[in-house]
Amino acid sequence: MSLDGLSLNKKATGVVAVVLVCLASLSVFLMFSSSPGTAKPAAEKQVGDANVAEPNTQGSSHEEQKQSKPEKAPLPRPTPAGKRQVVRPTHKHPAFGQRKKQRNQMVTNQIERRDVSNHDVLSAMRTVPRHAFVLKQDLRRAYRDHPLPIGLGQTISQPYIVAYMTEALKLEPNSIVLEIGTGSGYQAAVCAEIAKEVFTIEILEKLAESAKKRLSELGYRNVHVKNGDGYFGWPEYGPFDAIIITAAAGVIPPPLVDQLKPGGRMILPLGSPFGAQTLVLVTKDAEGRVHTRRLLSVRFVPMTGKVAEEKGRRGK
């Protein structure tokens, strides 16, 4: 064999060796790729992985996320009072366990003897700790038969008047009540012992804040306090089964008449703050007709705000 032939044989042998190595590698690759228990295809892996990002969220750019972010939903409208789940007063505050004897005497001597006989009203008057609603200097007089000052020219009404006005409303467990003139919050608490919910408005911000805090601490979760002019009522939660006004008005505010349900009852002191006042019962029949009835002579602090302007215009 010549040198040239030997060279060619060596080259051929090298080519054959390379081809055999490639064939062996390909065989090994095909064997492992077709064996059971190997990695899943990419699409199947994404379906089975709970942490895979959805399109345009985790895998998107910051600018894409910003553009795809939904707009804020508008604030929900107030849920009508009759459709909400309401929590009754808790009576866990220590004040409910104090001065029970004085409250019982107050009810027996000042209220029952004056012909207030509704069981729910009498029970509410025995339950609500009146001493928690008066000023510290008046604690000893909390259960006496007269009104007491609570500051800012306002008063907490005489116990008998509170009971009398509450009885006149004929409240039931499902009643929704609007009170105009929160004051200390005592009248609202008495109504809340009987009714489902009480919405009360106080025009003096300082009194509204203190009453709201006091009622919350005492566990009256079914009482809602708002600072504002009671002349306009609280239409978002109306119409109301009962409306009670605890300040003397020269006129019956028309918005409150509108917010009274057919079959509803409203009670208020009507008259001049410096003259005669009469407790008046306003009723609305099923057809929406309004009727009034005078009950007894009283003396209340004047209702302020829009109602005073209306009285002034009518007096001219």
CATH number, residue 218: 3.40.50.150
Q: Is residue 157 part of a domain?
A: yes
Q: Is residue 67 part of a domain?
A: no
pLDDT tens, position by position, 119-135: 999 999 999 999 999 99
Encode burial over 255-276: b for 16+ CB neighbours within 10 A, e otherwise. Answer: ebbebbbeebbbbbbbbebeee
The pLDDT of residue 254 is 97
Q: State the CB neighbour count (10 A cutoff) for residue 21.
A: 10
Q: How far apart are CA 316 and CA 67, in angstroms?
A: 62
The pLDDT of residue 86 is 77
Q: How many domains does the chain have?
A: 1
Q: Is residue 15 part of a domain?
A: no
Active site residue 2: no
- Annotated active-site residue in 33, 35, 68, 157: 157
Q: How far apart are CA 247 and CA 304, in angstroms?
A: 8
Q: Is residue 59 part of a domain?
A: no
The pLDDT of residue 145 is 97
| Residue 22 burial (C-beta neighbours within 10 Å; 0-12, 13-18, 19+) | exposed
The reported pTM is 0.74
Q: Is residue 60 part of a domain?
A: no
Q: Is residue 13 part of a domain?
A: no
164 is in which domain, residue-wise? 91-315
Q: Is residue 296 part of a domain?
A: yes
Q: Is residue 282 part of a domain?
A: yes
Q: Which residues of the chain have pLDDT under 50?
A: 1-13, 15-16, 18-19, 21-22, 26, 28-70, 72-73, 75
SS3 227: strand
